[in-house]
Amino acid sequence: MHASPLFARAVARLLCRVDAALGRPPVLDFVDMAAGRGELAGGVLAALPDDVAARTRVYAVEVDGRPEGLDPRVRWLAEPPGGLTGLLFANEWLDNVPVDVAEVDAAGVARRVLVRGDGAQRLGEPVTGAAAAWLERWWPLPGEEGLRAEIGLPRDEAWTSAVGALDAGLAVAADYAHTAAARPPFGTLTGFRAGRETPPVPDGSCDITAHVALDACAAAHATRCAPECAPPDALMRPQREALHALGVTGVRPPLALARTDPAAYVRALASASQAAELTAPGGLGDFLWLLQPVGAVDAAALLVDVADDEEQ
Protein backbone atom coordinates (compact mmCIF):
# COMPACT_ATOMS: atom_id res chain seq x y z
CA MET A 1 0.00 0.00 0.00
CA HIS A 2 1.62 3.24 -1.02
CA ALA A 3 -0.94 6.01 -1.48
CA SER A 4 1.59 8.64 -0.39
CA PRO A 5 1.00 12.33 -1.30
CA LEU A 6 3.63 12.00 -4.02
CA PHE A 7 1.85 9.00 -5.52
CA ALA A 8 -1.48 10.83 -5.32
CA ARG A 9 0.01 13.84 -7.11
CA ALA A 10 1.24 11.59 -9.93
CA VAL A 11 -2.22 10.00 -10.26
CA ALA A 12 -3.80 13.49 -10.22
CA ARG A 13 -1.49 14.42 -13.08
CA LEU A 14 -2.58 11.30 -14.97
CA LEU A 15 -6.22 12.25 -14.34
CA CYS A 16 -5.55 15.71 -15.81
CA ARG A 17 -4.05 14.11 -18.90
CA VAL A 18 -7.06 11.81 -19.25
CA ASP A 19 -9.27 14.90 -18.84
CA ALA A 20 -7.44 16.64 -21.68
CA ALA A 21 -7.59 13.52 -23.88
CA LEU A 22 -11.36 13.41 -23.31
CA GLY A 23 -11.74 17.07 -24.30
CA ARG A 24 -12.36 18.29 -20.72
CA PRO A 25 -15.87 16.91 -20.15
CA PRO A 26 -18.31 18.84 -17.90
CA VAL A 27 -18.13 16.01 -15.36
CA LEU A 28 -14.91 14.06 -14.88
CA ASP A 29 -14.89 10.87 -12.81
CA PHE A 30 -12.11 9.47 -10.68
CA VAL A 31 -12.50 6.05 -9.04
CA ASP A 32 -10.12 4.80 -6.36
CA MET A 33 -10.91 1.10 -6.84
CA ALA A 34 -10.38 -1.04 -3.70
CA ALA A 35 -9.67 2.16 -1.85
CA GLY A 36 -8.55 0.77 1.51
CA ARG A 37 -8.76 3.85 3.74
CA GLY A 38 -9.34 6.19 0.80
CA GLU A 39 -5.94 7.89 0.97
CA LEU A 40 -5.55 7.94 -2.80
CA ALA A 41 -9.06 9.37 -3.37
CA GLY A 42 -8.46 12.12 -0.82
CA GLY A 43 -4.92 12.77 -2.05
CA VAL A 44 -5.95 13.07 -5.69
CA LEU A 45 -8.72 15.54 -4.81
CA ALA A 46 -6.27 17.61 -2.81
CA ALA A 47 -3.74 17.63 -5.66
CA LEU A 48 -6.07 18.61 -8.50
CA PRO A 49 -6.04 22.18 -9.81
CA ASP A 50 -9.18 23.98 -8.54
CA ASP A 51 -10.85 24.22 -11.95
CA VAL A 52 -10.51 20.45 -12.49
CA ALA A 53 -11.49 19.55 -8.91
CA ALA A 54 -14.66 21.62 -9.30
CA ARG A 55 -16.01 19.33 -12.01
CA THR A 56 -14.55 16.03 -10.74
CA ARG A 57 -16.65 13.37 -8.99
CA VAL A 58 -14.41 11.23 -6.80
CA TYR A 59 -15.49 7.73 -5.79
CA ALA A 60 -13.81 5.39 -3.35
CA VAL A 61 -14.94 1.83 -4.05
CA GLU A 62 -14.27 -0.43 -1.09
CA VAL A 63 -15.97 -3.39 0.61
CA ASP A 64 -14.79 -2.10 4.00
CA GLY A 65 -16.39 0.84 5.82
CA ARG A 66 -15.77 4.55 5.23
CA PRO A 67 -12.98 5.86 7.45
CA GLU A 68 -13.62 8.89 9.63
CA GLY A 69 -12.18 12.18 8.53
CA LEU A 70 -12.17 11.44 4.80
CA ASP A 71 -12.88 14.46 2.57
CA PRO A 72 -16.71 14.65 2.41
CA ARG A 73 -16.53 15.16 -1.37
CA VAL A 74 -15.36 11.53 -1.72
CA ARG A 75 -18.33 9.25 -2.43
CA TRP A 76 -17.89 5.88 -0.69
CA LEU A 77 -19.39 2.88 -2.52
CA ALA A 78 -19.14 -0.93 -2.40
CA GLU A 79 -19.16 -1.20 -6.21
CA PRO A 80 -18.21 1.16 -9.01
CA PRO A 81 -21.13 3.03 -10.54
CA GLY A 82 -21.65 2.63 -14.29
CA GLY A 83 -21.35 5.16 -17.11
CA LEU A 84 -18.12 6.80 -15.93
CA THR A 85 -15.97 9.22 -17.91
CA GLY A 86 -12.47 9.59 -16.55
CA LEU A 87 -9.94 7.47 -14.68
CA LEU A 88 -10.42 4.30 -12.63
CA PHE A 89 -7.29 3.46 -10.63
CA ALA A 90 -6.90 0.10 -8.88
CA ASN A 91 -3.82 0.09 -6.69
CA GLU A 92 -3.09 -3.35 -5.17
CA TRP A 93 -6.60 -4.61 -5.78
CA LEU A 94 -6.24 -7.56 -8.16
CA ASP A 95 -3.65 -9.38 -6.03
CA ASN A 96 -6.35 -9.48 -3.33
CA VAL A 97 -8.94 -11.15 -5.58
CA PRO A 98 -8.87 -14.82 -4.53
CA VAL A 99 -7.56 -17.44 -6.96
CA ASP A 100 -7.28 -21.22 -6.91
CA VAL A 101 -3.82 -22.77 -7.01
CA ALA A 102 -2.93 -25.70 -9.28
CA GLU A 103 -0.03 -28.09 -8.71
CA VAL A 104 1.35 -30.86 -10.89
CA ASP A 105 1.16 -34.33 -9.28
CA ALA A 106 3.56 -37.29 -9.68
CA ALA A 107 1.70 -38.41 -12.82
CA GLY A 108 2.08 -34.99 -14.44
CA VAL A 109 -1.55 -33.95 -13.91
CA ALA A 110 -2.42 -30.42 -12.73
CA ARG A 111 -4.67 -30.64 -9.66
CA ARG A 112 -6.31 -28.02 -7.47
CA VAL A 113 -4.53 -27.43 -4.16
CA LEU A 114 -6.84 -27.79 -1.17
CA VAL A 115 -5.99 -26.10 2.12
CA ARG A 116 -7.18 -26.64 5.71
CA GLY A 117 -7.81 -23.87 8.22
CA ASP A 118 -4.41 -24.59 9.80
CA GLY A 119 -2.64 -24.11 6.46
CA ALA A 120 -1.96 -27.80 5.66
CA GLN A 121 -2.24 -28.41 1.91
CA ARG A 122 -3.04 -31.46 -0.24
CA LEU A 123 -3.91 -32.07 -3.86
CA GLY A 124 -7.55 -32.37 -4.92
CA GLU A 125 -9.33 -32.97 -8.23
CA PRO A 126 -7.65 -32.38 -11.61
CA VAL A 127 -8.18 -28.89 -13.02
CA THR A 128 -10.80 -28.99 -15.79
CA GLY A 129 -13.06 -26.74 -17.85
CA ALA A 130 -12.54 -22.96 -18.05
CA ALA A 131 -9.79 -23.09 -15.40
CA ALA A 132 -7.85 -25.68 -17.42
CA ALA A 133 -8.29 -23.61 -20.58
CA TRP A 134 -7.01 -20.54 -18.72
CA LEU A 135 -3.91 -22.45 -17.56
CA GLU A 136 -3.27 -23.77 -21.04
CA ARG A 137 -3.47 -20.25 -22.53
CA TRP A 138 -1.81 -18.18 -19.79
CA TRP A 139 0.24 -20.37 -17.49
CA PRO A 140 0.96 -23.78 -19.05
CA LEU A 141 2.33 -26.28 -16.55
CA PRO A 142 4.86 -28.75 -17.97
CA GLY A 143 4.29 -32.18 -16.40
CA GLU A 144 7.02 -31.79 -13.78
CA GLU A 145 5.87 -32.71 -10.27
CA GLY A 146 5.54 -29.81 -7.85
CA LEU A 147 5.25 -26.98 -10.39
CA ARG A 148 2.47 -24.56 -9.47
CA ALA A 149 0.30 -21.92 -11.07
CA GLU A 150 -2.36 -19.52 -9.80
CA ILE A 151 -5.49 -19.67 -11.94
CA GLY A 152 -6.14 -16.01 -12.73
CA LEU A 153 -9.62 -16.36 -14.18
CA PRO A 154 -11.43 -14.54 -11.31
CA ARG A 155 -9.00 -11.60 -11.69
CA ASP A 156 -9.66 -11.43 -15.44
CA GLU A 157 -13.38 -11.28 -14.65
CA ALA A 158 -12.98 -8.71 -11.85
CA TRP A 159 -10.86 -6.49 -14.09
CA THR A 160 -13.20 -6.78 -17.07
CA SER A 161 -16.11 -5.83 -14.87
CA ALA A 162 -14.29 -2.81 -13.37
CA VAL A 163 -13.19 -1.55 -16.81
CA GLY A 164 -16.81 -1.97 -17.91
CA ALA A 165 -17.77 0.84 -15.50
CA LEU A 166 -16.11 3.30 -17.91
CA ASP A 167 -17.88 4.73 -20.95
CA ALA A 168 -14.70 6.56 -21.85
CA GLY A 169 -11.32 7.13 -20.28
CA LEU A 170 -8.64 4.95 -18.75
CA ALA A 171 -8.49 2.11 -16.23
CA VAL A 172 -5.20 1.42 -14.48
CA ALA A 173 -4.26 -1.63 -12.41
CA ALA A 174 -1.02 -1.24 -10.45
CA ASP A 175 0.11 -4.40 -8.74
CA TYR A 176 2.61 -7.11 -8.00
CA ALA A 177 2.43 -8.85 -11.35
CA HIS A 178 4.04 -11.03 -13.98
CA THR A 179 3.55 -11.78 -17.66
CA ALA A 180 3.83 -14.92 -19.78
CA ALA A 181 7.53 -14.31 -20.40
CA ALA A 182 8.35 -14.82 -16.70
CA ARG A 183 5.81 -16.77 -14.67
CA PRO A 184 7.14 -17.88 -11.27
CA PRO A 185 7.45 -21.71 -11.50
CA PHE A 186 6.07 -22.31 -7.99
CA GLY A 187 3.57 -19.44 -7.87
CA THR A 188 3.62 -16.54 -5.44
CA LEU A 189 0.98 -17.33 -2.81
CA THR A 190 1.99 -15.41 0.32
CA GLY A 191 0.51 -14.23 3.59
CA PHE A 192 1.09 -10.81 5.11
CA ARG A 193 0.56 -9.92 8.75
CA ALA A 194 1.33 -6.43 10.03
CA GLY A 195 3.36 -5.73 6.87
CA ARG A 196 5.53 -8.86 7.21
CA GLU A 197 5.53 -12.01 5.11
CA THR A 198 4.00 -15.03 6.81
CA PRO A 199 2.74 -18.48 5.67
CA PRO A 200 -0.62 -18.11 3.85
CA VAL A 201 -2.90 -19.69 6.46
CA PRO A 202 -6.59 -19.06 5.67
CA ASP A 203 -7.72 -18.51 9.27
CA GLY A 204 -8.33 -14.76 9.07
CA SER A 205 -5.03 -13.96 10.79
CA CYS A 206 -3.30 -12.60 7.68
CA ASP A 207 -3.91 -11.11 4.23
CA ILE A 208 -3.37 -13.68 1.49
CA THR A 209 -2.12 -12.47 -1.87
CA ALA A 210 -0.67 -13.80 -5.10
CA HIS A 211 0.92 -11.78 -7.89
CA VAL A 212 -1.30 -10.97 -10.85
CA ALA A 213 -1.06 -12.40 -14.39
CA LEU A 214 -1.68 -8.91 -15.70
CA ASP A 215 -1.32 -9.76 -19.40
CA ALA A 216 -4.26 -12.14 -19.03
CA CYS A 217 -6.37 -9.36 -17.45
CA ALA A 218 -5.54 -7.02 -20.35
CA ALA A 219 -6.47 -9.62 -22.93
CA ALA A 220 -9.70 -10.54 -21.12
CA HIS A 221 -11.01 -7.01 -21.54
CA ALA A 222 -9.99 -6.96 -25.22
CA THR A 223 -11.72 -10.30 -25.79
CA ARG A 224 -14.90 -9.04 -24.13
CA CYS A 225 -14.96 -6.07 -26.54
CA ALA A 226 -13.96 -7.74 -29.79
CA PRO A 227 -14.81 -7.77 -32.58
CA GLU A 228 -17.44 -4.99 -32.68
CA CYS A 229 -15.72 -2.27 -30.69
CA ALA A 230 -12.03 -2.98 -31.51
CA PRO A 231 -10.65 -1.79 -28.16
CA PRO A 232 -7.66 0.57 -28.21
CA ASP A 233 -4.31 -0.92 -27.27
CA ALA A 234 -3.56 -1.57 -23.63
CA LEU A 235 -0.13 -0.72 -22.32
CA MET A 236 1.96 -2.31 -19.58
CA ARG A 237 4.79 -0.45 -17.88
CA PRO A 238 6.87 -0.93 -14.73
CA GLN A 239 5.72 1.52 -12.05
CA ARG A 240 9.18 3.11 -12.15
CA GLU A 241 8.67 4.19 -15.79
CA ALA A 242 5.06 5.23 -15.34
CA LEU A 243 5.86 7.40 -12.33
CA HIS A 244 8.89 8.95 -14.02
CA ALA A 245 6.63 9.95 -16.92
CA LEU A 246 4.28 11.48 -14.36
CA GLY A 247 6.97 13.61 -12.78
CA VAL A 248 8.18 11.39 -9.91
CA THR A 249 11.94 11.33 -10.28
CA GLY A 250 13.62 10.89 -6.90
CA VAL A 251 16.30 13.45 -7.74
CA ARG A 252 17.82 14.86 -4.56
CA PRO A 253 17.56 18.64 -4.13
CA PRO A 254 20.78 20.67 -4.59
CA LEU A 255 22.73 21.16 -1.37
CA ALA A 256 22.77 24.90 -2.00
CA LEU A 257 19.03 24.93 -1.24
CA ALA A 258 19.81 23.80 2.32
CA ARG A 259 21.61 27.11 2.86
CA THR A 260 19.13 29.42 1.14
CA ASP A 261 15.86 27.74 2.23
CA PRO A 262 16.39 24.94 4.79
CA ALA A 263 12.66 24.16 5.14
CA ALA A 264 12.24 23.78 1.36
CA TYR A 265 15.36 21.59 1.30
CA VAL A 266 13.94 19.25 3.95
CA ARG A 267 10.60 19.03 2.09
CA ALA A 268 12.36 18.28 -1.20
CA LEU A 269 14.55 15.67 0.47
CA ALA A 270 11.52 13.91 2.00
CA SER A 271 9.83 13.94 -1.38
CA ALA A 272 12.95 12.53 -3.08
CA SER A 273 13.15 9.67 -0.61
CA GLN A 274 9.43 8.88 -1.09
CA ALA A 275 10.04 8.89 -4.85
CA ALA A 276 13.04 6.60 -4.47
CA GLU A 277 10.90 4.13 -2.50
CA LEU A 278 8.08 4.20 -5.06
CA THR A 279 10.46 3.57 -7.97
CA ALA A 280 13.05 1.29 -6.33
CA PRO A 281 14.31 -1.64 -8.43
CA GLY A 282 13.55 -4.87 -6.56
CA GLY A 283 10.79 -3.04 -4.68
CA LEU A 284 7.75 -0.96 -5.56
CA GLY A 285 9.39 0.20 -8.80
CA ASP A 286 8.92 -3.34 -10.14
CA PHE A 287 5.15 -3.14 -9.75
CA LEU A 288 3.45 -3.34 -13.14
CA TRP A 289 0.90 -0.80 -14.36
CA LEU A 290 -1.69 -1.95 -16.86
CA LEU A 291 -3.19 1.04 -18.68
CA GLN A 292 -6.43 0.00 -20.36
CA PRO A 293 -7.99 2.75 -22.46
CA VAL A 294 -11.70 2.90 -23.21
CA GLY A 295 -12.95 4.89 -26.21
CA ALA A 296 -10.73 7.26 -28.14
CA VAL A 297 -7.90 7.50 -25.60
CA ASP A 298 -4.30 6.73 -26.51
CA ALA A 299 -2.66 5.16 -23.44
CA ALA A 300 0.90 5.71 -24.73
CA ALA A 301 0.27 9.44 -25.20
CA LEU A 302 -0.77 9.69 -21.54
CA LEU A 303 2.72 8.68 -20.46
CA VAL A 304 4.62 11.36 -22.30
CA ASP A 305 7.63 12.67 -20.46
CA VAL A 306 6.70 15.22 -17.82
CA ALA A 307 8.83 17.88 -19.51
CA ASP A 308 6.43 17.79 -22.48
CA ASP A 309 3.35 18.00 -20.27
CA GLU A 310 1.75 21.43 -20.19
CA GLU A 311 -1.26 20.41 -18.13
CA GLN A 312 0.10 21.32 -14.70
Ligand X SMILES: C[S@@+](CC[C@H](N)C(=O)[O-])C[C@H]1O[C@@H](n2cnc3c(N)ncnc32)[C@H](O)[C@@H]1O
* Binding flag, residue 91, ligand X (CB under 6 A): yes
Position among 19, 29, 92, 215 found at the interface with ligand X (CB under 6 A):
92
SS3 302: helix
Per-residue x/- track, 10-39, ligand X (CB under 6 A): ------------------------xxx---
The letter for the amino acid at 51 is: D
Cβ neighbors of 235 (< 8 A, separation 6 or more) are 290, 291, 299, 300, 303
198: β partners: 191
Minimal CB distance to ligand X: which residue?
A: 36
Bridge partners of residue 151, in order along the sequence: 100
What strand order describes the sheet that includes 110-115?
Answer: 121-126, 110-115, 100-104, 148-151
Task: Find the shortest distance in angstroms from Cβ 258 to ligand X.
Answer: 32
Burial class (CB in 10 A: 0-12, 13-18, 19+), 145: exposed
Min separation Cβ 195 and ligand X, Å: 11
Three-state DSSP class for 125?
A: strand
Of 80 and 232, the one with the shorter C-beta distance to ligand X is: 80
The nearest distance, CB 113 to ligand X, in angstroms, is: 22
Question: How far apart are CB 96 and ligand X at their closest, in Å?
Answer: 4
132 vs 188, beta carbon nearer ligand X:
188
Interface mask toward ligand X for 96-135; x: CB under 6 A: x---------------------------------------
Q: Which amino acid is at 264?
A: A
Indicate the helix (H) or strand (E) that contains 74: strand 74-77
Instruction: Report the nearest approach of ligand X to the CB of residue 89 (Å).
Output: 8
Q: Residue 92: what are its φ and ψ, rounded to 5°? A: 55, 45
The C-alpha atoms of residue 279 and residue 266 are separated, in whole angstroms, by: 20
Distance of CA 109 to the CA centre of its chain: 32
Footprint of ligand X on residues 238-297 (CB under 6 A)? Answer: none
Residue 207 or 309 with smaller CB distance to ligand X: 207
CB of 3 to ligand X, least distance (A): 5
Quote the CA–CA distance of 275 and 149 in Å, as a whole number.
33
User: Cβ of residue 99: shortest distance to ligand X, in angstroms?
Assistant: 13
Distance (Å, whole) CA 269 – CA 35: 28
In the complex with ligand X, the residue whose CB is nearer, 85 or 91, is 91
Q: Interface mask (CB under 6 A) for ligand X, residues 42-81, using x and -?
A: -------------------xxxx-----------------
**Binding site residues, ligand X, CB under 6 A:** 1, 3, 34-36, 61-64, 91-93, 96
